Structure 1
Protein backbone atom coordinates (compact mmCIF):
# COMPACT_ATOMS: atom_id res chain seq x y z
CA UNK A 1 0.00 0.00 0.00
CA UNK A 2 1.26 3.46 -0.87
CA UNK A 3 1.82 6.16 1.68
CA UNK A 4 0.36 9.66 1.69
CA UNK A 5 1.71 10.67 5.09
CA UNK A 6 2.19 14.36 5.71
CA UNK A 7 0.40 15.52 2.58
CA UNK A 8 -2.22 18.25 2.33
CA UNK A 9 -5.51 16.71 1.24
CA UNK A 10 -9.00 18.10 0.59
CA UNK A 11 -12.11 15.92 0.91
CA UNK A 12 -15.35 17.53 -0.24
CA UNK A 13 -18.49 16.24 1.41
CA UNK A 14 -16.31 15.08 4.28
CA UNK A 15 -18.73 15.52 7.17
CA UNK A 16 -20.47 12.14 6.86
CA UNK A 17 -20.59 8.83 5.03
CA UNK A 18 -17.78 7.86 2.68
CA UNK A 19 -16.28 11.34 2.85
CA UNK A 20 -15.87 11.17 6.62
CA UNK A 21 -14.46 7.63 6.37
CA UNK A 22 -11.83 8.83 3.93
CA UNK A 23 -11.01 11.93 5.98
CA UNK A 24 -10.52 9.84 9.13
CA UNK A 25 -8.25 7.40 7.32
CA UNK A 26 -6.09 10.20 5.92
CA UNK A 27 -5.92 11.64 9.43
CA UNK A 28 -4.77 8.31 10.84
CA UNK A 29 -1.84 8.45 8.42
CA UNK A 30 -0.73 11.83 9.65
CA UNK A 31 -2.05 13.95 6.83
CA UNK A 32 -3.29 17.52 6.89
CA UNK A 33 -6.94 17.05 5.97
CA UNK A 34 -9.41 19.76 5.01
CA UNK A 35 -13.05 18.73 4.75
CA UNK A 36 -16.02 20.63 3.38
CA UNK A 37 -19.74 20.32 3.95
CA UNK A 38 -22.84 22.22 4.94
CA UNK A 39 -23.25 21.00 8.53
CA UNK A 40 -20.81 22.77 10.81
CA UNK A 41 -21.38 20.59 13.88
CA UNK A 42 -20.70 17.43 11.90
CA UNK A 43 -17.66 19.05 10.35
CA UNK A 44 -16.21 20.01 13.71
CA UNK A 45 -16.77 16.47 15.00
CA UNK A 46 -14.90 14.90 12.07
CA UNK A 47 -12.04 17.40 12.48
CA UNK A 48 -11.74 16.34 16.12
CA UNK A 49 -11.52 12.71 15.01
CA UNK A 50 -8.83 13.61 12.47
CA UNK A 51 -6.80 15.42 15.11
CA UNK A 52 -7.20 12.59 17.62
CA UNK A 53 -6.01 10.11 15.00
CA UNK A 54 -2.76 11.98 14.50
CA UNK A 55 -3.59 14.25 11.58
CA UNK A 56 -4.37 17.93 11.33
CA UNK A 57 -7.97 18.72 10.47
CA UNK A 58 -9.69 21.78 9.03
CA UNK A 59 -13.41 22.22 8.38
CA UNK A 60 -14.65 24.73 5.81
CA UNK A 61 -18.39 25.25 5.44
CA UNK A 62 -19.12 25.22 1.75
CA UNK A 63 -21.68 24.65 -1.00
CA UNK A 64 -20.04 23.28 -4.15
CA UNK A 65 -22.84 24.78 -6.25
CA UNK A 66 -21.30 28.20 -5.56
CA UNK A 67 -18.22 28.72 -7.74
CA UNK A 68 -16.86 31.62 -5.68
CA UNK A 69 -17.23 29.55 -2.53
CA UNK A 70 -15.20 26.72 -4.08
CA UNK A 71 -12.36 29.11 -4.92
CA UNK A 72 -12.42 30.35 -1.33
CA UNK A 73 -12.11 26.77 -0.06
CA UNK A 74 -8.93 26.15 -2.05
CA UNK A 75 -7.51 29.48 -0.91
CA UNK A 76 -8.21 28.55 2.72
CA UNK A 77 -6.53 25.15 2.34
CA UNK A 78 -3.41 26.69 0.77
CA UNK A 79 -3.29 29.41 3.41
CA UNK A 80 -3.51 26.87 6.25
CA UNK A 81 -1.40 24.02 4.86
CA UNK A 82 0.83 25.81 2.35
CA UNK A 83 -0.20 23.76 -0.70
CA UNK A 84 -2.71 21.23 -2.02
CA UNK A 85 -1.22 17.80 -2.72
CA UNK A 86 -4.38 15.76 -3.18
CA UNK A 87 -8.13 16.12 -3.43
CA UNK A 88 -11.09 13.77 -3.20
CA UNK A 89 -14.23 15.17 -4.81
CA UNK A 90 -16.91 13.28 -2.94
CA UNK A 91 -19.76 15.75 -2.35
CA UNK A 92 -22.99 14.79 -4.08
CA UNK A 93 -26.69 14.04 -3.76
CA UNK A 94 -28.73 10.96 -4.58
CA UNK A 95 -31.46 12.54 -6.69
CA UNK A 96 -34.63 10.53 -7.27
CA UNK A 97 -34.06 6.78 -6.88
CA UNK A 98 -36.89 4.48 -7.94
CA UNK A 99 -38.25 7.20 -10.25
CA UNK A 100 -38.73 6.12 -13.85
CA UNK A 101 -37.18 8.20 -16.60
CA UNK A 102 -40.37 9.85 -17.85
CA UNK A 103 -41.57 10.64 -14.33
CA UNK A 104 -38.52 12.70 -13.36
CA UNK A 105 -38.98 16.44 -12.84
CA UNK A 106 -36.85 19.26 -14.19
CA UNK A 107 -36.16 20.43 -10.64
CA UNK A 108 -34.68 17.10 -9.53
CA UNK A 109 -32.67 16.69 -12.72
CA UNK A 110 -31.21 20.19 -12.50
CA UNK A 111 -30.27 19.78 -8.83
CA UNK A 112 -28.46 16.48 -9.40
CA UNK A 113 -26.50 17.69 -12.42
CA UNK A 114 -25.62 20.98 -10.70
CA UNK A 115 -24.30 19.21 -7.61
CA UNK A 116 -22.84 15.94 -8.85
CA UNK A 117 -21.38 17.10 -12.17
CA UNK A 118 -21.03 20.89 -12.32
CA UNK A 119 -19.98 20.97 -8.67
CA UNK A 120 -17.21 18.44 -9.30
CA UNK A 121 -16.05 20.40 -12.35
CA UNK A 122 -15.83 23.59 -10.26
CA UNK A 123 -13.82 21.80 -7.59
CA UNK A 124 -11.47 20.23 -10.13
CA UNK A 125 -10.89 23.56 -11.83
CA UNK A 126 -9.87 25.24 -8.58
CA UNK A 127 -7.80 22.25 -7.43
CA UNK A 128 -5.89 22.02 -10.71
CA UNK A 129 -5.10 25.73 -10.65
CA UNK A 130 -3.62 25.34 -7.17
CA UNK A 131 -1.66 22.20 -8.06
CA UNK A 132 -0.15 23.80 -11.15
CA UNK A 133 1.49 26.37 -8.90
CA UNK A 134 3.24 23.76 -6.76
CA UNK A 135 4.38 21.16 -9.27
CA UNK A 136 1.43 18.80 -9.45
CA UNK A 137 -0.80 16.58 -7.35
CA UNK A 138 -3.45 13.89 -7.51
CA UNK A 139 -7.24 14.15 -7.78
CA UNK A 140 -9.73 11.39 -7.02
CA UNK A 141 -13.34 11.82 -8.09
CA UNK A 142 -16.02 9.68 -6.49
CA UNK A 143 -18.26 8.42 -9.27
CA UNK A 144 -20.40 5.28 -8.88
CA UNK A 145 -21.06 1.90 -10.37
CA UNK A 146 -23.75 3.89 -12.19
CA UNK A 147 -20.96 5.89 -13.79
CA UNK A 148 -20.09 2.69 -15.68
CA UNK A 149 -23.49 1.15 -16.41
CA UNK A 150 -27.08 2.31 -16.73
CA UNK A 151 -29.20 2.35 -13.62
CA UNK A 152 -31.78 -0.38 -13.25
CA UNK A 153 -33.45 1.27 -10.25
CA UNK A 154 -34.99 4.28 -11.96
CA UNK A 155 -32.07 6.59 -11.26
CA UNK A 156 -31.26 8.16 -14.64
CA UNK A 157 -30.39 11.56 -13.17
CA UNK A 158 -27.77 10.07 -10.87
CA UNK A 159 -26.38 7.76 -13.57
CA UNK A 160 -26.03 10.64 -16.02
CA UNK A 161 -24.20 12.78 -13.47
CA UNK A 162 -21.82 9.98 -12.50
CA UNK A 163 -21.07 9.07 -16.12
CA UNK A 164 -20.23 12.75 -16.52
CA UNK A 165 -17.79 12.57 -13.60
CA UNK A 166 -15.94 9.75 -15.37
CA UNK A 167 -15.78 11.93 -18.48
CA UNK A 168 -14.36 14.85 -16.50
CA UNK A 169 -11.82 12.50 -14.95
CA UNK A 170 -10.56 11.13 -18.25
CA UNK A 171 -10.42 14.57 -19.86
CA UNK A 172 -8.45 16.20 -17.03
CA UNK A 173 -6.12 13.20 -16.94
CA UNK A 174 -5.13 13.85 -20.54
CA UNK A 175 -4.96 17.63 -20.22
CA UNK A 176 -2.57 17.70 -17.25
CA UNK A 177 -0.62 14.43 -17.42
CA UNK A 178 2.59 16.20 -18.48
CA UNK A 179 2.22 18.70 -15.64
CA UNK A 180 2.33 15.98 -12.98
CA UNK A 181 -1.36 16.06 -12.11
CA UNK A 182 -3.07 12.67 -12.10
CA UNK A 183 -6.85 12.36 -12.09
CA UNK A 184 -8.71 9.11 -11.40
CA UNK A 185 -12.19 8.05 -10.36
CA UNK A 186 -13.49 5.50 -7.89
CA UNK A 187 -16.79 3.86 -8.82
CA UNK A 188 -18.27 2.40 -5.61
CA UNK A 189 -21.09 -0.08 -5.49
CA UNK A 190 -23.68 -0.09 -2.72
CA UNK A 191 -21.93 0.64 0.59
CA UNK A 192 -23.01 1.13 4.16
CA UNK A 193 -23.58 4.86 4.61
CA UNK A 194 -25.97 7.39 6.07
CA UNK A 195 -27.59 7.56 2.65
CA UNK A 196 -27.98 3.83 2.00
CA UNK A 197 -28.58 2.25 5.43
CA UNK A 198 -31.89 4.04 6.21
CA UNK A 199 -33.34 3.01 2.84
CA UNK A 200 -32.32 -0.61 3.42
CA UNK A 201 -33.92 -0.56 6.87
CA UNK A 202 -37.12 1.16 5.78
CA UNK A 203 -37.73 -0.73 2.52
CA UNK A 204 -36.11 -4.17 2.88
CA UNK A 205 -38.59 -5.79 0.49
CA UNK A 206 -37.44 -3.37 -2.20
CA UNK A 207 -33.72 -3.08 -1.46
CA UNK A 208 -32.79 -6.66 -0.54
CA UNK A 209 -33.22 -8.05 -4.08
CA UNK A 210 -31.44 -5.00 -5.53
CA UNK A 211 -28.41 -5.54 -3.30
CA UNK A 212 -28.39 -9.26 -4.09
CA UNK A 213 -28.45 -8.47 -7.81
CA UNK A 214 -25.68 -5.90 -7.49
CA UNK A 215 -23.22 -7.78 -5.31
CA UNK A 216 -21.40 -10.90 -6.43
CA UNK A 217 -20.12 -11.02 -2.83
CA UNK A 218 -23.71 -10.78 -1.57
CA UNK A 219 -23.02 -7.88 0.78
CA UNK A 220 -22.77 -4.11 1.02
CA UNK A 221 -19.35 -2.53 0.92
CA UNK A 222 -17.77 -0.61 3.78
CA UNK A 223 -16.47 2.92 3.79
CA UNK A 224 -12.95 1.84 4.71
CA UNK A 225 -12.78 -0.24 1.52
CA UNK A 226 -13.39 2.87 -0.55
CA UNK A 227 -11.04 4.91 1.64
CA UNK A 228 -8.15 2.47 1.14
CA UNK A 229 -8.55 2.84 -2.61
CA UNK A 230 -8.46 6.63 -2.32
CA UNK A 231 -5.31 6.44 -0.18
CA UNK A 232 -3.62 4.36 -2.87
CA UNK A 233 -4.66 6.67 -5.69
CA UNK A 234 -3.34 9.73 -3.86
CA UNK A 235 -0.04 8.01 -3.08
CA UNK A 236 3.07 7.62 -5.21
CA UNK A 237 2.38 3.88 -5.37
CA UNK A 238 -0.16 4.64 -8.11
CA UNK A 239 2.15 7.04 -9.97
CA UNK A 240 1.43 5.46 -13.39
CA UNK A 241 -2.34 5.28 -12.88
CA UNK A 242 -4.07 8.17 -14.63
CA UNK A 243 -7.53 8.53 -16.14
CA UNK A 244 -8.79 5.28 -14.61
CA UNK A 245 -12.34 4.65 -13.41
CA UNK A 246 -11.90 1.91 -10.83
CA UNK A 247 -14.90 -0.17 -9.72
CA UNK A 248 -14.90 -0.95 -6.00
CA UNK A 249 -18.09 -2.95 -5.81
CA UNK A 250 -17.44 -6.61 -5.14
CA UNK A 251 -18.09 -7.68 -8.72
CA UNK A 252 -21.64 -6.53 -9.49
CA UNK A 253 -20.69 -4.57 -12.59
CA UNK A 254 -19.62 -7.85 -14.18
CA UNK A 255 -23.22 -8.97 -13.89
CA UNK A 256 -24.57 -5.70 -15.24
CA UNK A 257 -22.38 -5.21 -18.31
Structure 2
Protein backbone atom coordinates (compact mmCIF):
# COMPACT_ATOMS: atom_id res chain seq x y z
CA UNK A 1 0.00 0.00 0.00
CA UNK A 2 2.98 2.28 -0.32
CA UNK A 3 1.78 5.77 -1.35
CA UNK A 4 -1.82 4.50 -1.68
CA UNK A 5 -2.84 7.54 0.37
CA UNK A 6 -0.40 10.01 -1.17
CA UNK A 7 -1.93 13.48 -1.09
CA UNK A 8 -5.03 12.26 0.77
CA UNK A 9 -6.31 14.87 3.24
CA UNK A 10 -7.12 13.16 6.52
CA UNK A 11 -8.34 14.47 9.88
CA UNK A 12 -7.63 12.37 12.98
CA UNK A 13 -9.21 13.02 16.37
CA UNK A 14 -7.26 12.17 19.51
CA UNK A 15 -4.05 12.14 17.51
CA UNK A 16 -1.57 13.42 20.08
CA UNK A 17 -0.66 10.06 21.61
CA UNK A 18 -1.50 6.36 21.70
CA UNK A 19 -3.29 4.80 18.73
CA UNK A 20 -4.14 8.25 17.39
CA UNK A 21 -0.47 9.20 17.19
CA UNK A 22 0.23 5.88 15.47
CA UNK A 23 -2.44 6.66 12.86
CA UNK A 24 -1.08 10.17 12.32
CA UNK A 25 2.46 8.86 11.91
CA UNK A 26 1.47 6.04 9.57
CA UNK A 27 -0.57 8.42 7.40
CA UNK A 28 2.26 10.93 7.24
CA UNK A 29 4.69 8.20 6.19
CA UNK A 30 2.21 7.23 3.46
CA UNK A 31 2.58 10.82 2.24
CA UNK A 32 -0.95 11.77 3.21
CA UNK A 33 -1.64 15.32 4.34
CA UNK A 34 -2.66 15.05 7.97
CA UNK A 35 -4.43 17.31 10.43
CA UNK A 36 -5.11 16.02 13.91
CA UNK A 37 -6.90 17.34 16.95
CA UNK A 38 -6.58 16.70 20.66
CA UNK A 39 -6.96 18.29 24.09
CA UNK A 40 -3.29 17.44 24.71
CA UNK A 41 -1.77 20.54 23.17
CA UNK A 42 1.89 20.08 24.13
CA UNK A 43 1.97 16.46 22.97
CA UNK A 44 0.15 17.34 19.75
CA UNK A 45 2.47 20.19 18.87
CA UNK A 46 5.51 18.02 19.60
CA UNK A 47 4.28 15.21 17.34
CA UNK A 48 3.46 17.58 14.48
CA UNK A 49 6.85 19.25 14.81
CA UNK A 50 8.74 15.93 14.78
CA UNK A 51 6.87 14.73 11.69
CA UNK A 52 7.49 17.98 9.84
CA UNK A 53 11.18 17.81 10.73
CA UNK A 54 11.21 14.34 9.15
CA UNK A 55 9.81 15.81 5.93
CA UNK A 56 6.14 14.90 6.39
CA UNK A 57 3.03 17.07 6.49
CA UNK A 58 1.19 17.13 9.82
CA UNK A 59 -0.77 19.90 11.49
CA UNK A 60 -1.97 19.95 15.09
CA UNK A 61 -5.31 21.65 15.85
CA UNK A 62 -6.75 22.10 19.33
CA UNK A 63 -9.88 19.99 19.79
CA UNK A 64 -12.21 19.26 22.69
CA UNK A 65 -14.84 16.75 21.57
CA UNK A 66 -16.99 17.62 24.59
CA UNK A 67 -17.46 21.11 23.10
CA UNK A 68 -19.50 21.29 19.86
CA UNK A 69 -18.03 24.69 19.00
CA UNK A 70 -14.51 23.23 19.24
CA UNK A 71 -15.51 20.50 16.78
CA UNK A 72 -16.75 23.07 14.27
CA UNK A 73 -13.59 25.14 14.70
CA UNK A 74 -11.34 22.10 14.25
CA UNK A 75 -13.05 21.07 11.02
CA UNK A 76 -12.95 24.63 9.66
CA UNK A 77 -9.24 24.92 10.48
CA UNK A 78 -8.53 21.53 8.89
CA UNK A 79 -10.32 22.51 5.69
CA UNK A 80 -8.49 25.81 5.57
CA UNK A 81 -5.12 24.12 6.16
CA UNK A 82 -5.55 21.08 3.92
CA UNK A 83 -7.90 22.53 1.31
CA UNK A 84 -10.55 19.91 2.06
CA UNK A 85 -11.04 16.57 3.82
CA UNK A 86 -10.95 13.15 2.15
CA UNK A 87 -10.84 11.01 5.27
CA UNK A 88 -11.81 11.17 8.93
CA UNK A 89 -10.63 8.89 11.74
CA UNK A 90 -12.89 9.21 14.78
CA UNK A 91 -10.35 7.95 17.28
CA UNK A 92 -10.59 10.21 20.35
CA UNK A 93 -12.22 8.64 23.39
CA UNK A 94 -12.11 8.65 27.16
CA UNK A 95 -12.54 5.74 29.57
CA UNK A 96 -13.15 7.26 33.02
CA UNK A 97 -15.22 4.29 34.21
CA UNK A 98 -12.37 1.77 34.37
CA UNK A 99 -12.42 -0.43 37.47
CA UNK A 100 -15.89 0.64 38.61
CA UNK A 101 -18.88 -1.67 38.67
CA UNK A 102 -22.24 -0.71 37.18
CA UNK A 103 -23.39 0.07 40.71
CA UNK A 104 -20.43 2.35 41.41
CA UNK A 105 -20.68 4.25 38.13
CA UNK A 106 -22.06 7.79 38.43
CA UNK A 107 -24.36 9.58 35.98
CA UNK A 108 -21.74 12.33 35.61
CA UNK A 109 -19.10 9.83 34.48
CA UNK A 110 -21.56 8.12 32.15
CA UNK A 111 -22.50 11.45 30.55
CA UNK A 112 -18.86 12.54 30.16
CA UNK A 113 -17.93 9.30 28.37
CA UNK A 114 -20.96 9.41 26.10
CA UNK A 115 -20.47 13.09 25.26
CA UNK A 116 -16.94 12.50 23.99
CA UNK A 117 -17.07 8.97 22.61
CA UNK A 118 -20.49 8.98 20.98
CA UNK A 119 -21.81 12.52 20.63
CA UNK A 120 -18.35 13.77 19.67
CA UNK A 121 -17.95 11.19 16.91
CA UNK A 122 -21.45 11.96 15.60
CA UNK A 123 -20.91 15.73 15.53
CA UNK A 124 -17.46 15.36 13.97
CA UNK A 125 -18.86 13.10 11.24
CA UNK A 126 -21.67 15.54 10.46
CA UNK A 127 -19.32 18.53 10.44
CA UNK A 128 -16.98 16.76 8.01
CA UNK A 129 -19.71 15.34 5.76
CA UNK A 130 -19.97 18.23 3.24
CA UNK A 131 -16.21 18.16 2.72
CA UNK A 132 -16.04 14.37 2.50
CA UNK A 133 -18.85 14.38 -0.06
CA UNK A 134 -17.16 17.12 -2.07
CA UNK A 135 -13.93 15.12 -2.26
CA UNK A 136 -15.68 12.33 -4.18
CA UNK A 137 -13.87 9.64 -2.18
CA UNK A 138 -14.77 10.46 1.39
CA UNK A 139 -14.19 7.82 4.06
CA UNK A 140 -14.85 7.72 7.79
CA UNK A 141 -13.20 5.16 10.06
CA UNK A 142 -14.63 4.96 13.57
CA UNK A 143 -12.41 3.43 16.23
CA UNK A 144 -14.59 1.23 18.40
CA UNK A 145 -13.32 -1.49 20.76
CA UNK A 146 -13.56 -5.24 21.01
CA UNK A 147 -14.74 -4.75 24.61
CA UNK A 148 -18.16 -4.10 23.05
CA UNK A 149 -18.01 -7.56 21.44
CA UNK A 150 -17.29 -9.56 24.57
CA UNK A 151 -18.67 -7.30 27.30
CA UNK A 152 -15.66 -6.37 29.40
CA UNK A 153 -16.67 -6.05 33.06
CA UNK A 154 -16.15 -2.95 35.21
CA UNK A 155 -15.91 -0.74 32.14
CA UNK A 156 -19.59 -0.19 31.48
CA UNK A 157 -19.71 3.40 30.22
CA UNK A 158 -16.81 2.85 27.84
CA UNK A 159 -18.15 -0.49 26.59
CA UNK A 160 -21.62 0.98 26.06
CA UNK A 161 -20.15 3.96 24.20
CA UNK A 162 -18.16 1.72 21.87
CA UNK A 163 -21.23 -0.43 21.22
CA UNK A 164 -23.02 2.77 20.27
CA UNK A 165 -20.17 3.70 17.91
CA UNK A 166 -20.56 0.33 16.16
CA UNK A 167 -24.31 0.80 15.75
CA UNK A 168 -23.85 4.42 14.68
CA UNK A 169 -21.37 3.33 12.02
CA UNK A 170 -24.04 1.22 10.31
CA UNK A 171 -26.65 3.96 10.43
CA UNK A 172 -24.26 6.63 9.15
CA UNK A 173 -23.17 4.31 6.33
CA UNK A 174 -26.79 4.15 5.18
CA UNK A 175 -27.26 7.92 5.45
CA UNK A 176 -23.94 8.96 3.92
CA UNK A 177 -23.80 6.33 1.18
CA UNK A 178 -25.92 8.44 -1.16
CA UNK A 179 -23.17 11.05 -1.06
CA UNK A 180 -20.47 8.47 -1.86
CA UNK A 181 -19.02 8.55 1.65
CA UNK A 182 -18.08 5.24 3.28
CA UNK A 183 -18.32 4.67 7.03
CA UNK A 184 -16.67 1.70 8.73
CA UNK A 185 -15.47 0.75 12.19
CA UNK A 186 -12.38 -0.93 13.58
CA UNK A 187 -12.58 -2.73 16.94
CA UNK A 188 -9.05 -3.03 18.33
CA UNK A 189 -8.19 -5.26 21.24
CA UNK A 190 -6.14 -4.18 24.24
CA UNK A 191 -3.19 -2.41 22.60
CA UNK A 192 0.13 -1.52 24.20
CA UNK A 193 -0.10 2.29 24.33
CA UNK A 194 0.11 4.97 27.02
CA UNK A 195 -3.63 4.93 27.62
CA UNK A 196 -3.61 1.23 28.58
CA UNK A 197 -0.71 1.49 31.01
CA UNK A 198 -3.21 1.69 33.90
CA UNK A 199 -4.88 -1.60 32.90
CA UNK A 200 -4.12 -4.30 35.51
CA UNK A 201 -1.52 -6.88 34.53
CA UNK A 202 -4.06 -9.68 34.87
CA UNK A 203 -6.24 -8.10 32.17
CA UNK A 204 -3.25 -7.92 29.81
CA UNK A 205 -2.53 -11.58 30.60
CA UNK A 206 -6.19 -12.50 30.03
CA UNK A 207 -6.03 -10.98 26.55
CA UNK A 208 -2.69 -12.56 25.76
CA UNK A 209 -3.86 -16.07 26.62
CA UNK A 210 -7.24 -15.64 24.93
CA UNK A 211 -5.98 -14.57 21.52
CA UNK A 212 -5.64 -16.96 18.63
CA UNK A 213 -2.40 -15.09 17.94
CA UNK A 214 -0.82 -15.25 21.37
CA UNK A 215 1.24 -12.09 21.56
CA UNK A 216 0.87 -8.51 22.69
CA UNK A 217 -1.04 -6.17 20.37
CA UNK A 218 0.85 -3.07 19.22
CA UNK A 219 -0.30 0.03 17.30
CA UNK A 220 1.16 -1.20 13.99
CA UNK A 221 -1.34 -4.08 14.13
CA UNK A 222 -4.17 -1.57 13.76
CA UNK A 223 -2.55 0.81 11.27
CA UNK A 224 -2.91 -1.45 8.24
CA UNK A 225 -6.68 -2.03 8.49
CA UNK A 226 -7.31 1.67 9.10
CA UNK A 227 -5.20 2.73 6.12
CA UNK A 228 -6.95 0.15 3.95
CA UNK A 229 -10.40 1.50 4.84
CA UNK A 230 -9.27 5.01 3.93
CA UNK A 231 -7.88 3.90 0.58
CA UNK A 232 -9.48 3.51 -2.84
CA UNK A 233 -9.16 -0.27 -2.41
CA UNK A 234 -12.05 -0.08 0.08
CA UNK A 235 -14.41 2.16 -1.91
CA UNK A 236 -17.13 -0.52 -1.96
CA UNK A 237 -16.79 -1.40 1.72
CA UNK A 238 -19.15 0.44 4.06
CA UNK A 239 -21.14 -0.16 7.23
CA UNK A 240 -18.72 -2.87 8.33
CA UNK A 241 -17.05 -3.71 11.64
CA UNK A 242 -13.55 -5.19 11.53
CA UNK A 243 -12.26 -6.61 14.83
CA UNK A 244 -8.46 -6.27 15.02
CA UNK A 245 -7.52 -8.17 18.15
CA UNK A 246 -5.53 -11.26 17.20
CA UNK A 247 -8.64 -13.43 17.37
CA UNK A 248 -9.59 -12.65 20.98
CA UNK A 249 -13.16 -11.80 19.95
CA UNK A 250 -14.36 -12.97 16.56
CA UNK A 251 -17.14 -11.27 14.61
What TM bracket, shorter-length normalisation?
over 0.9
Matched-pair contact (CA < 8 Å) for 2:11–2:35: yes
What TM-score, normalized by structure 1, do the two folds share?
Answer: 0.92
Q: Please report how far the alpha carbon of residue 96 of structure 1 lies from its aligned counterpart in structure 2 after TM superposition.
A: 1.5
- Correspondence 1:251 to 2:240: no
**Inter-CA distance 213–249: structure 2 relative to 1 (3 Å threshold):** same
Determine if contact 1:27/1:54 at 8 Å carries over to the other structure.
Answer: no
Inter-CA distance 136–239: structure 2 relative to 1 (3 Å threshold):
closer
> What is the CA distance between 1:59 and its match in structure 2?
0.6
CA distance in 2, matches of 1:90, 1:164: 14
Check if 1:184 corresponds to 2:180. no
Alignment deviations for residues 63-83 of structure 1 (CA, whole Å, 9 cap, x no partner): 011111111111111111111
Q: Distance in 2 between matches of 1:32 and 1:248?
A: 25
Please say if residues 143 and 163 of structure 1, whose CA atoms lie closer than 8 Å, have aligned partners that are also in contact: yes
Q: Distance in 1 between matches of 2:36 and 2:245?
A: 25
Deviations for 1:204-235, whole angstroms, at most 9, x for unmatched residues?
3x334432354232222111111111111100
Does the 8 Å contact 1:30/1:56 carry over to 2? yes
Asked whether the 8 Å contact 1:47–1:58 carries over to 2, the reply is yes
Aligned length: 250
Equivalences for 1:214-225 in 2 at 5 Å?
Answer: 214-225=210-221
In 1: Cα distance, 2:53 partner to 2:29 partner: 8
TM-score by length of 2: 0.94
Distance in 2, matches of 1:53 and 1:30, equals 12
Correspondences of 1:203-218 after superposition (within 5 Å): 203-204=200-201, 206-218=202-214
Moved more, 102-111 or 158-167: 102-111
- Unaligned segments of structure 2, at least 5 residues: none
